[in-house]
Amino acid sequence: MRAESPVSAALVAWGNAWLTGHIGLDEAADHVEEVGGPSVVDATPLRNYLADLRLRGAKEFRLALPAPGDPLGLSGPPAFNAAAIDAGQAAIAVLTDGCVGLVPEADIRGSSYSGTLWTVHEAGPARQDLPSVAEAEQALAGTIRLATEALASVDGPQQSHPQLNPAGGELAPGYPPRAHRVSALAARLASALQAAEERGLTSGQIAAREAALRELDGAVRRAVVAAHHAIFEPSNRS
């Protein structure tokens, strides 16, 4: 499952909207499967598994978007961290008696079936040191100039400027407006990052931009995580 796939983010956003009473279970599962196709969690259909989590006292879902050297959103144990880093993403269900980690991978069967297979892991306690959505919005604002300069100064084999896709980053009902803004902005910057990677640069050009783009990538991932956790932040609805 490529990290660019938003299936873990979809599970967190729509799962949280369901847990907070803004939508029903079927609607939550439908939206997740619109993104990742039919979803199975350890041989159990997604709807059934989510219902079981609710019976186990599920309180919220947390998003992890780690990268090598940056285990964003992860708190162990090592087996779960390794699987999540390899996938580039994971969802964490916070229960009354602990946490469960869910790591997605593509489930391809023949030429007509494309879905998501979730593997369940024991997970450590949810991290509390992640940025708030307000902090993430401020940090992202400071990266816009960096992104513009990094892309505009690269003359790769493609002579035309890349076409960036502004879509994406949608959250579920119940999230504050600021979270929607931050998530949409992060999606646009993620599109800029992907465009930079696809321009066929030389090794020297890549090295010259690497530090700036790495910083931008970290800021984008933190913004996405913060936006998906904002539904549980104190009652700041700005």
pLDDT for 103? 98
Residues 32 and 92: their CA atoms lie apart, in Å, by 15
pLDDT at 159: 41
Q: Bridge-partner residues for 99, per DSSP?
A: 94, 123
164-175, pLDDT tens digit by residue? 444 457 899 999
Given the DSSP bridges, would you call strands 44-45 and 60-64 parallel, antiparallel or unpaired? unpaired
Question: Alpha-carbon dihedral of residues 170, 173, 178, 179, nearest 10 degrees?
Answer: -50
pLDDT digits (tens, 9 = 90+) for 9-51: 999 999 999 999 999 999 999 999 999 999 999 999 999 999 9
Enter the pTM of the model.
Answer: 0.85
pLDDT-above-90 percentage for the chain: 59
Strand-pair category, 39-41 with 113-123: parallel
Q: Is a pLDDT exceeding 70 seen at residue 206?
A: no
The pLDDT score that the predictor gives to residue 36 is: 93
